[in-house]
Structure 1
Amino acid sequence: MIRLRTKRLLLTGATFAALSSHAFALDGQDLLTKINAAYAAGSGVLKAEAIEVNGNDVVLKGTTFTATGPHEKSVLLGNLNLQDVTEEADGAYHIDRIEFPEVNLTEEKNSVKIKDLYLAGVRVPGNTAGEGLASMMLYEEAHSGPLTVIADGKQVFSLEEASGTMALSDDESALSFDGSVTGIKADLTGVEDAKSKDAIDALGLQTVTGEINVSGSWDPSSGTIDLDEYAIDLNHVGRLSLSFAFTGYTMDLVKQLQETARTMQADPNNEQAQQAAGIAMFGLMQQMSFQSARISIEDAGITKRGLDYAGKQQGSSGEQMGQMVKGMLPILLAQAKLGALQNEISEAVNTFIDDPQNITITAEPEKEVPFPMIMGAAMGAPESLPTLLGVSVSAND
């Protein structure tokens, strides 16, 4: 009697476990469907020949990504390994890590190779029609290892690593982001055009190395985008740094822009439809306002080499070429009718040419300026833009 009861209990427990396992098993097809729904502007479709679920891991086998639009093209990605996938109560998915196979594209003597590709901390929304960042597909880290480009049997470009991260605020209403590309190396010694090769040699650009860094934040509720830094730093050339801030880029605007983009992609050969969609997108962009911007160039020797090369082409020295630029600049600026800014630009450029260190252009209006006002001034009274945007120029700060 006890044995029979025990046997029944074991059988019941096994049946319940089997049913529970089936009930809570990951739905790989649902995951793939939601990944496709989350693509920002419907710019592509991810397809898989087969989907394999093993516990909390999902393998999308034989995947291809097809970019939609007038020039539709499919790229074979291979097997994608989605590790430690969990489904949340709202139908969203969290993926601890997505590993991509190595890229190895080869055609005759040309090839592109990329290693160590992955996304980490990916959240796939359960409903893209929701509000806030919860309706977007986000990741904590995107990573690429070494990349090499070979042309005609010779390596012409490479980078060591590229990575980007996102972080949500404590209340998950805003996000910050940063990224970097390190170990950039471009080999220009293979350029065959004689004139271009002469310029490359004179400017010392046979091999260009450097890095790129970017950081910023976005608050969808206020629509404020603040790009703290976008910097390109090239050794023995210089550093170009950009930053800007504007408002109005809300989640509602993002979705309207996405819908307009989908409309344009749906009928790419209809010129009237494309023009109408373009006008609509232009109108949507007018909901934004400008807050500030800054462009800074730090010289690392390229200015002097550039003046020397330009002077040589004119049969003069680099110093004489610098004086020529300083003399011509006021004449060119006078045509733009920039008012007091004209003298400020001339003074900054003169200072920079005499001692190339850095030159900075800043735009900081007293209060944010709506984009329609900027566009109206640009078309009707371009000379008013510097005052409207609070533009200033300085050198060797």
Structure 2
Amino acid sequence: MRTTKTTRLLLLSGVATVALMGPAMALDAQAFVDRIAEVYRPLGYDFTFGAAALDGDTITVDGGTVTIVSSPDAAMEPLTFDTEVTFTGVVENADGSYTAESVTIPDIDTDFAEEPAGHLTLSDVRVDGFYLPAGNPAPSIGLLQLFQSFSTGPLSLTRDGEEVFSFESMASQSTFNPSFATTELTDLASTFLISGMSADLTSVAEEDPAAGATIEALGLTSVTGEIYMEMSWAMADGHMDVTALTFDFDDVGALDLTFDITGFTPTVLDQIYAMQAAMGTGGEPTEEQAQAQMMQGMALMQGVNIVSASIRYDDASLAGKLLDFFAAQSGADRATFVEGLKAMLPAMLAESGIPALNDLVVPPVSAFLDDPQSLEVKVAPPSPTSLLVLMAAAANPAGLITALGLAVEANQPVD
């Protein structure tokens, strides 16, 4: 009796061990990289990978090629990468999805063009928390969770040996509720930052002498700055709030975009991806197909509502330099040139046929021309308004201004 119990315990232990080892034993390196290609193809990335090898729960891929497809009929030149990509902590889940603890790529140092000679270096590329959702096509709720964080160290692009663009680092990070890589995602928050950007625009003159001369006159031959984005997104009501999308250039100016919308749910995203997939097959659509696509697009817009949006420019010298530059070209001093612009504004707006624009635009733009600090255009409908309703309101531009809650402000502090 004791022997029988012992035997049964050993058998149960063996079954448990096999069950625990199952995911790692079931891993197939080629199936994993094939799944990467499948998941990213609808997003516009066409991957072809080199040989893939498995060692425990680590998969290494010997380079490959990626082609970015911007539309069904347009694709960029394929970019070949010969560096080894390492996926560590890979797990194949019961539903057919995959996760990996991290993805690392050795430092890149490669030529990408011959005439003119182009060279790229990029270091410290890393992804933490990598996810390949199940499904064919993969649902948008999974595509929103492809990674938890992505970062790189310095990048440098050179043209004929001269650096034309660089940055110190790039980083993107997202948090997911209730957890990462789940089909029960309720909301997420993301940030993105490119810091220490530097662009040398002196080479523009080689392609366009007139533009190069303007860039030099404005003192823009060397530009530095950063790009920053911050957003949150709730899945149930599709509430997406982009609180910052900022392009900030030192001693030049900063452009900041924000928008707050509702109704942009994963279901809407799934429908958009399905429309894109349908448009990518069968060549040029028939008139009936085009009308059906338009109706489907209008139905989607019916459910997406604008809560608010804004675009704001804060000047750090560019506006003043532009006024000085064009004043000199016209043969006038800056004050005279500005007064001329202000006098022209009402006539220019009158051509739009919307009298209400005059009172809305002339005072703030005139104030900005007199003292360039900031200029902001804001939209804040009295209540969240669907894109389809706004399109209908566009037939009456004066009514559209009211429907949008349109406002223009100059030289006001940030809210």
Q: TM-score range by the shorter chain?
A: 0.7 to 0.9
Deviations 1:175-232 (A, max 9, x none): 1111011111111223144432332222111111111101111222211221111101
Could you say what secondary structure the match of 1:266 adopts?
A: coil
Any conservation in 1 of the 2:310–2:377 contact (CA below 8 Å)?
yes
Kindly state the Cα deviation for residue 315 of structure 1 after the two structures are TM-superposed. Answer: 0.8
Question: Which segment is superposed worse, 199-208 or 23-32?
Answer: 23-32
Which residue identity lines up with residue 168 of structure 1 in the other structure? F
Q: Output aligned runs, 1:75-154, within 5 Å.
A: 75-78=79-82, 79-101=84-106, 102=108, 104-108=110-114, 109-116=116-123, 117-127=125-135, 133-134=141-142, 136-154=144-162
Normalised to the residue count of structure 2, the TM-score between the two structures is 0.83
**SS of 1:365 mapped into structure 2:** coil
Task: Give the Cα separation in 2 of the matches to 1:93 and 1:372.
Answer: 39
In structure 2, do the counterparts of structure 1 residues 114 and 258 end up closer, same or farther at CA, with 3 Å as the change threshold?
farther
Per-residue CA shift, 1:119-174, capped at 9, x if unaligned? 21112223366877346542111223222222233222222212111111247311
| Contact 1:132–1:220 (CA under 8 A) maintained in structure 2 | no
Q: 2:340 aligns with which of 312, 321, 324?
A: 324
Is the CA contact 2:39–2:138 (under 8 Å) kept in the aligned structure 1? no
Residues 328 and 30 of structure 1, relative CA distance in 2, 3 Å threshold: same
Q: Which letter does structure 1 place at the counterpart of 2:73? A: P
**Hey, what does 1:155 align to over in structure 2?**
163
**TM-score, length-scaled by structure 1:** 0.86
Show the counterpart of 2:52: 51
Instruction: Tell me which moved more, 180-189 or 163-172.
Output: 163-172
**Distance across 2 between alignment mates of 1:353 and 1:23:** 65
Between 29-38 and 223-232, the greater mean CA deviation after superposition: 29-38
User: Is the counterpart of residue 177 in structure 1 residue 225 in structure 2?
Assistant: no
Which is worse superposed, 212-221 or 24-33?
A: 24-33
Q: Distance in 2 between matches of 1:148 and 1:272?
A: 47
The whole-number CA distance in structure 2 between the counterparts of 1:392 and 1:215 is 24
- The CA distance in 1 between the partners of 2:74 and 2:43, in whole Å, is 14
Residue range with higher mean Cα deviation, 225-234 or 261-270 = 261-270
Cα deviation code 1:44-78 (max 9, x no counterpart): 34333422111111112243334453245543233
Is the Cα contact below 8 Å between 1:115 and 1:146 reproduced in 2? yes
Question: Quick one: distance in 1 between partners of 2:178 and 2:247?
Answer: 31
Give percent identity, aligned residues only: 26
Do the aligned residues in 2 keep the contact of 1:147 with 1:159 (CA within 8 Å)?
Answer: yes
Report what 1:199 is aligned to. Answer: 214
Deviations 1:267-301 (A, max 9, x none): 34567598457535633542322111011111111
Tell me, in whole angstroms, the C-alpha distance in 1 between the residues paired with 2:66 and 2:295.
28
Question: Matches of residues 357-376 of structure 1 in structure 2 within 5 Å?
Answer: 357-376=373-392
297, 311, 316: which is aligned to 1:300? 316
Worse-matched range after superposition: 179-188 or 132-141: 132-141
Partners of 2:30 and 2:264 lie apart in 1 by: 33
Q: How far apart in 2 are the matches of 1:24 and 1:147?
A: 36
Q: For the residues of structure 2 that align with 1:23 and 1:169, how far apart are their CA atoms?
A: 25
Work out the CA distance in 2 between the residues paired with 1:181 and 1:166. 15
8 Å CA contact 2:261, 2:306 repeated in 1: yes
Cα distance, 1:103 vs structure 2: 5.5
Extract unaligned runs of 5+ from structure 1. 1-9
Paired positions, count? 385
Q: Specify whether residues 346 and 127 from structure 1 end up closer, same or farther in structure 2 by C-alpha distance, changes over 3 A only.
A: same
Counterpart pick for 1:164 among 161, 167, 172: 172
* Structure 2 Cα separation of the partners of residues 114 and 273 of structure 1: 49
> Are the structure 2 counterparts of residues 16 and 384 from structure 1 closer, same or farther at C-alpha, using a change threshold of 3 Å?
closer
| In structure 1, C-alpha distance between the alignment counterparts of 2:317 and 2:377, rounded to whole Å | 20
Alignment match, 1:187: 200
| CA distance in 2: counterparts of 1:290 and 1:19, whole angstroms | 50
1:36 aligns with 2:37: yes
Q: Give the aligned residue type for 1:371.
A: L
Q: How does 1:202-241 map to 2 (within 5 A)?
A: 202-241=217-256
Query: Please, what is the CA RMSD of the aligned residues?
Result: 3.0
- Matching residue's letter, 2:85: L
In structure 1, the partner of 2:367 is 351
Distance change in 2, residues 1:103/1:121 (3 Å): farther
Q: Distance in 1 between matches of 2:305 and 2:18?
A: 58
Task: Name the aligned partner's letter for residue 392 of structure 1.
Answer: A
For residue 350 of structure 2, what is the aligned residue in structure 1?
A: 334
Contact 2:24 2:57 in 1 (8 A): no
- Cα 1:275–1:129 shift into 2, 3 Å: closer
